[in-house]
Amino acid sequence: MRILVLICLCLLLTNCEDKQSRQKKNNSSTIDSTKTEKEIAKKDSVTTETNEIPLLDDKNAIPFFQQYEKENKENKVRIYTDFGNIDILLFEETKYHRANFIFLTKQNYFSYTQFYRVINNFVIQGGNSDDYDIARKRNAIGKYLLPTDSKKGFVHDRGVVSMPSGEIENPYKLASPFEFFIVQQKGGAHHLNGDYTIFGKVIAGMDVVDTIAAQPTDEGDWPLKNIYITKVEIIK
């Protein structure tokens, strides 16, 4: 009888040890799995930080766009407005300005900026706004100017897209990267040649440009009713 009892106790102890062993193994597996997930998350986080876009300024903007234009070769965009769409071909010859416009498009900068300067039979100018959100977008991208590139043989014919100079003291007419204007004047606006960088042309939607140019404005050429660019997207 005693022998039977001893056998039963041994079996019971063995089962308990096996159960504890399995629990330890499972707990160890859970810890290892959690550690691995954290390591992976940390690794992914580092990768994301490495690929972050720098805050642009006058020192790093050109080196940034030198690399950016090599990796981002898109050259057609569509501007959406309440009056219709405007398709633009960006010129390969003005590579920094093309790359800048593609960059801003991919950053979704232009959404709900405005055609804020409208002069019938001259130009419509866009890419700015008095909205605080647009100023905040600019600050998040950086503060920089682009060098004028006006010796590629382009002239300010009707339909070309050009970049205005910055509003700061700017004797060399460095280009304001967030803004652009489209020449709407019949026969062109050739008195602008040499001062501003032409970096594209309208390939569809000049009727929309004409409609926008015809909108009533105040004395400062600001449309009486805001003309929004709802978005700009890359097209093929």
The number of C-alpha atoms within 13 Å of 212 and in the hemisphere containing its C-beta is: 33
Average pLDDT, the chain: 82
Helical residues (DSSP H) of 107-154, grouped into ranges? 132-141
Tens-place pLDDT, residues 69-119: 999 999 999 999 999 999 999 999 999 999 999 999 999 999 999 999 999
Tens-place pLDDT, residues 136-159: 999 999 999 999 898 999 999 999
Q: How confident is the model at residue 42 (pLDDT cuts 50, 70, 90)?
A: very low
Q: How confident is the model at residue 11 (pLDDT cuts 50, 70, 90)?
A: very low
The residues with which 85 forms a beta bridge, in sequence order, are 80
Asked whether residue 160 carries a pLDDT value surpassing 50, the answer given is: yes
Nearest residue to 110 (alpha-carbon basis) of 204, 177, 65: 177
Asked whether residue 31 carries a pLDDT value surpassing 60, the answer given is: no
Between CA 118 and CA 135 the distance in angstroms is 21
Contacts within 8 Å (CB) and 24+ apart, 132-137: 137/107, 137/109
Percent of the chain scoring above 90 in pLDDT: 69
What pLDDT shows up at residue 48? 28
Name the residue with higher pLDDT: 20 or 205.
205
